[in-house]
Amino acid sequence: MLEREFDTEERTGESWGFKEVLGYLLVILGAAIAIWVFLNVCRVFNSPEKLTEFRGLVPGSAEAVVSTSDSNGVKVIVPAEVLSLFIAIFLLAVAAGIAGVFINGGTRLLDGDIQRITRRVSAAASTLGDRIGRLEEILRRDRSQH
């Protein structure tokens, strides 16, 4: 009896709408981007020669002038390898941020569905608890009669 009621409740429930599909799509896309970022971070730190892909973005070396309290500035020369590492880390951080935004947006879209499912499970558990209570009462009466 309980299976039939729960089964019909499931069948009469709302079908997936655009919001739910978009929510699941955003969560899946965000998770895929997060996995991609993780794999690339592992690749960059496990084999530093992969940074050569980013060396084309920077000149041989870059100069930065740091001001001091007097009028003389100090020139700091940053090698291309260090700049390419910073560029790689920055781009991966941007991708991780995008993944976080996708996952957050998807879970916010799905929040209403999760609450609806939680209410259904709570209602089913309450109904089941009531039925178990009635069954225990019937068994007590039956034992007292015998």
Query: Which of 28, 14, 38 minimizes the C-alpha distance to 106?
Result: 28
CA distances from 63 to 20, 46, 91, 104 (A): 51, 28, 21, 39
> What pLDDT, on a 0 to 100 scale, did the predictor assign at position 32?
93
Residue 119 lies in a domain: no
Residue 2 lies in a domain: no
* Dist CA 41 CA 92 (whole Å): 7
Q: Summarize the chain as % helix, strand, coil (round to 5).
A: 80, 10, 10
> What pLDDT, on a 0 to 100 scale, did the predictor assign at position 77?
73
Contact 100, 111 (CB under 8 A): no
Residue 78 lies in a domain: yes
- Exposure string over 6-36, b if 16+ CB within 10 A, otherwise e: beeeeeeeeeeeeebeebeebbebbeebbee
Residue 57 lies in a domain: yes
3-state secondary structure of 63: strand
Residue 118 lies in a domain: no
Q: Which residues of the chain have pLDDT under 70?
A: 1-15, 58-75, 113-114
Q: Which domain holds residue 81?
A: 18-112
* Dist CA 115 CA 18 (whole Å): 18
Residue 136 lies in a domain: no
Residue 104 has, within 13 A of its CA and on its CB side, a CA count of 6
Give me the helix-helix angle, 80-145 and 2-12, nearest 10°: 140
> What pLDDT, on a 0 to 100 scale, did the predictor assign at position 122?
87
Residue 96 lies in a domain: yes
Domain tally for the chain? Answer: 1
* Dist CA 77 CA 100 (whole Å): 35
Residue 127 lies in a domain: no
pTM for the whole structure: 0.55
